[in-house]
A and B are shown apart, each in its own frame.
Chain A
Amino acid sequence: MRFLTARRRHPAAKALILVFALLVMGGLYSALAPTGKSSADTGTSQQVEEGKKLFAVSCASCHGLNGEGQVSGSIQGPPLVGVGAAATEFQVSTGRMPMAHPGQQAPQRQSEFTEDEVLALAAYVATLGPGPAIPEPAAYDPAGLSDEDLARGGELFRTNCSACHNFEGAGGALPNGKYAPSLIGVSGLHLYEAMITGPQQMPVFSDGVLTPDDKRAIIGYLDRLHEQPNQGGFAFGGLGPVAEGLWAWVAGIGVLVLFAIWIAAKGVKAR
C-alpha cells in the first residue's frame, strides 16, 4: 500500500485510475449482462449484439470500433474483417487477446472471459466478414482413430509441425525473442483453430491443403503422445539432448565425484 500512496501524485496516476475505472465498468457490465440466457435460447442475433458490446469495451481500442484495425498510431491492431469466429475463439479463450501490453508475441494466459462471452465475441467478429467458423467437436475429437491414422498423424506432425513445436510439442525458438508455444495440454479445439487460422506468426494450414481428416489425425497423435507414459523414466521436459547433457553432468559426474570424495576421504580418527 505504501507503494500506491507514494505514487498517487504520479502523472500517470490519473490515466491509470481512468483505465481501472473503465475496466471495473466493463467487468461489471459483463458480469451483469444477461449473456447466459442469450446463447441458451435466443438466436445468434442476440449473441452478436452481446458480442458487439463486449468488443467495444475490450477490443475496439486496438482493433477499431468495427474491427477495421488500426495500423497507425501508438496502439495498433490488425483488422479483424474476415478472420472469422475460429480465430476469435482461439485468441480470446486462450487468453492471448486482449493483449496485456504490446509486444513481440501475445502469450497464453488465463482467459478473462466466460465461455459464453467468447462465443458472443466470436459470433460478432464472424459478422464482420466471412472467415473460418469454430469447428464442430466431431472435427477435432480424436476418438475412433485407428492405429494407422495415428501413425499418419505422427508423420504429418513431424512434417508440418515439429520444426517449430519440437518432436514432443514442447515448443521452440523463433527469431527475435518470439517462440512457438508448447502444445502440451492444448485442447483439440484450439489445435484445430490454430491450424485453420494461423494465429500470430504461425502459418495457416487450410482445410483445402491439410484436410480435416489430416488435422484430426495430428490432434489424435498429439493426444496419444502426451497421455502415454515416458517409457524410460523422468523426461526433463522433452527438450532433447541439451537437457540430457546437463543431467549427465549433474546427476552422473556430480554424484560420482561425491562418491569419489567419500572413497578417498580419511575417516574419523579415534583421537
Chain B
Amino acid sequence: MAKPVPTAAGSDAVAAETPPKQLGPVFKAAAGPASWADDRLGVAKLSRPFIRKVFPDHWSFLLGEIALYSFIILLLTGVFLTLWYKPSMAEIEYGGSYQLLRGMPMSESFASTLGIVFDIRGGLLIRQMHHWAAMLFIAAMLVHSLRIFFTGAFRKPREVNWLIGVGLLAMGLIEGFAGYSLPDDLLSGTGLRFVDGLIRSIPVIGTWAEMFVFGGEFPGDLIVARLYMAHILLLPALLLGLISAHLALVVYLKHTQYPGPGRTNGNVVGYPVFPVYMAKAGGFFFIVFGVITLMGGLMQINPLWTYGPYNPAQVTAGSQPDWYMGFVEGAIRIMPNWESHIGGTTWSWNVAIPGLGLMGLLFGLMAVYPFVEQWVTGDKSEHHILDRPRNVPTRTAFGVAAITGYGLFWVGGGNDIIATQFHVSLEAVTYFLRVMVFVGPVIAFLIAKRICIALQRADHERLLHGAESAIIVRDPSGSYSEPHVPISQEEAYTLTQHVDPLPLAPVTEQGDLSDKEFKAEQRRRKATRFFFLDALRKPSRAELEEAASHHEGDGNGHDGDGSRDVDGHDAKEIGAGSGPRRAQD
C-alpha cells in the first residue's frame, strides 16, 4: 500500500521549476524596498534557507509556542501597564474612584494599580490579561518541558537547549513572583513577608542577604522599586536573550520528529515555514492572544481591591502565592518544625530546606538529567527521532514520579483550601502529605514503569499477531473467534524503529582499568541495568517473519476463541524463547 512517494524535495523542486510568470502586486510593490535592503544587507541570501525551512507537524510541538506567545503578550501588556504604574512605596491617601478604599493611606504603587483598574479604560482588561498570560507562560513552559522530557528530545545534540529551557523556567518563576509583588496589596505583601523570612533563613549569611535585598528592615521602602527594575528590565532582558538563543538553536539543529514511515534520523519531514507554518504559527499566536484576552475579559484574577493595601498586621485566610510557587509553598507548609539553636545562632531548617532546597532540587535534577542518562546508557549518538515514552520505561517512570512529587507538594500549598472544600481536617491533610511526598513518587514510578512495559507488550502483540479485526467469526464447530489482521508496514516500522536497550553485564575482568576506573565502571553498569531492567526487546526480523508465516498458515490467523488465544499464545512464545525477551538476560 505504501508506495515510495516522490519525496517532498522533489515536489519542492517542481514548485521551484514553475515559478509564477509574473510577480504579483505585493511583490511588485515590495521590489523597490527589498532590493534596497538586499543591496545593503543581503537579505535575499540570508533569508533564503529559512523561507522553506521544514517544521514537522504535531500538536505537542505547539506547547512551547504557547509559552513564546504568552511571553510576547506579556511584553505588550506589560508596556501598557508601565505607563501608569508607579513603583513607589511612599505613603499617600487614596482618592481614586474605588469607594471602599477612599481616604485610606496606602503606597503609591497600590494606588496607581487601583488607578489602572478603575480609572483607565481597558486598564483592568490589560492587567488581567497580563496576569493570566503570566500564569500560562509558566504553565506552558512546564508542559513543554514535560513533552521534551518524555520524548527524549533533550538528548544529544540538544542538551544545551534543554539547559537553556531549565534556565528559562527558573527565571520565569522569579519574574512571575517579582511581578506578583509589585502592586503592594495585602496578598503580595504577605508573599514578600514570606520571602523575607525565607531569605533570613539562609544559614550564616541570611541576615546580610535580607538587609541587602530589602535595603533595611522589612518592609523598608525600596523593595518594590528594586523588584520593578528586576521585573521590567533585568529579567525580561535575560528571558528575551535566552528565548532568542533557544529558538536559534531549534532552527539551527532543526526540529525533532516523531517516528514514522519516511522519517529517519537524517531528515525532517513536515511543512515549510512559508506559507504553511507562517499561517499556522501566526494563527496560533492570535489564538493564544485571543484566548488570553477572553480570559482577561471574563475571568477575574487577583482582585486586589478586595485585598486592600499591604499592612503588616493584617492577613487573609487562603493566603497563597500564584500556582507556580505553590510547590514551594506546599513544602514549607508540610515541613516539620526543625530548627537548631547552636550557641547564639539559629539555623532554620524548617524554612531553608523546603524553601531554597526544593527549588534547587527541582532545577538541579532537571539540569543534570540529560547528562546522567547519557552516562547511564552510554549512548553518545545523535538523536533526532523522538522516543515513544513507553520505549524508555525507566525515564518515563522517573518523569511520572517527578510529576507526582511536584503535584503532592502543590496540593500541600493549598491544604487549607482542600480542608475547607472537601471537609477534611487540615492536620490530616498535612500528615498524609508528609508521608506521601516520599511514598507517592515511588509508587508512581513503579506503576508508570509497569504501564510502559504493558504498552510495549501490546505493541508486540500487534507486531506478531496483528490487530484485532473487530469481526467475530463463528466456525462450523460453533465456537467464536476474532480473526487478527496483520498491521501495515508503516505501523510495523513505527513500532520497531527504536534502538533496543543495551543491557550490560558486570565487568568481569579488570583488564587494563585501574581499580578506581574498574569500580566506577561497575557502578555505571549497575545503573545501566537498573535503567533497562524489564524493558522489552523488540521482535527481531526472524521473529516477525516467523509470526507472519504462522499467520498465513492459519488462514485467519487464529484457531479457537480469540481472546484466550492471545494470552495463551503469548505465554507459549515466551516459553519458546521467540517472544518478547527480557532485557537483562
Contact = CB atoms under 8 A, between A and B. Distances in A.
A98 interface: no
Interface of B: 57-63, 65-66, 99-104, 117-118, 124, 128, 132, 135-136, 139-140, 143, 186-187, 280, 283-284, 287-288, 291-292, 295-303, 305-308, 311, 313-324, 326, 413-417, 419-420, 423-428
Q: A interface, by DSSP: helix, strand, loop or mixed? A: helix
B101 A231 contact: no
Given A162-B316, A176-B425, A240-B319, A253 B284 contact: no
B99 A150 contact: yes
Interface stretch (A53-61, A76-84, A134-142, A260-268): A260-268
Given A158-B316, A165-B317, A252-B135, A264 B58 contact: yes
Contacts of A150: 99-100
B308 A263 contact: no
B314 A244 contact: no
Interface in A220-259: 221, 224-225, 228, 230-236, 238-249, 251-253, 255-257, 259
Contact of B323 (A159, A234, A245): A245
A151 interface: yes
B427 A175 contact: yes
A179 interface: yes
A148 interface: yes
A242 B320 contact: yes
B306 A251 contact: no
27 contacts: A150-B100, A158-B186, A158-B314, A163-B316, A166-B316, A172-B316, A177-B425, A177-B426, A180-B317, A224-B99, A225-B306, A231-B117, A233-B128, A238-B303, A240-B320, A242-B417, A244-B322, A244-B323, A246-B323, A251-B295, A253-B140, A256-B66, A256-B140, A257-B143, A259-B291, A260-B62, A260-B284
Contacts of A233: 128, 297-300
Nearest to B143: A253
B299 A234 contact: yes
Given A148-B102, A252-B292, A162 B136 contact: no
A225 B66 CA distance: 36
B280 A151 contact: no
Contact of B311 (A159, A243, A257): A159
A264 to B, nearest CB: 4
Contact of A252 (B57, B139, B425): B139
Contact of B308 (A147, A155, A259, A260): A155
Q: What 10 pairs across the A-B complex have the smallest Cβ distances? A: A172-B317, A245-B323, A232-B300, A248-B135, A177-B425, A260-B62, A173-B416, A166-B317, A167-B316, A264-B59
Contacts of A245: 135, 322-324, 326
A174 B300 CA distance: 27
A147 B426 contact: no
B298 A234 contact: yes
A233 B127 CA distance: 13
Interface string A150-190: 11001100110011111110111111110110000000000
Nearest to A182: B420
Contacts of A247: 299
B405 to A, nearest CB: 18
Contact of A162 (B66, B128, B295, B317): B317
Nearest to A154: B100
Tell which of A164, A167, A261, A263 has the most Cβ of chain B within 10 Å: A167
B303 A172 contact: no
Contacts of B117: 231
B303 A230 contact: yes
A245 B420 CA distance: 17
A231 B300 contact: yes
Given A256-B291, A260-B59, A166 B426 contact: no
B59 A257 contact: yes
Contact of A148 (B103, B305, B416, B424): B103
A242 B59 contact: no
Given A158-B308, A238-B306, A259-B284, A244 B301 contact: yes
B63 A154 contact: no
Given A151-B102, A230-B300, A166 B140 contact: no
A163 B315 contact: yes
A232 B128 contact: yes
A167 B124 CA distance: 20
A242 B311 contact: no
B61 A264 contact: yes
A173 B186 contact: no
Nearest to B290: A259
B308 A167 contact: yes
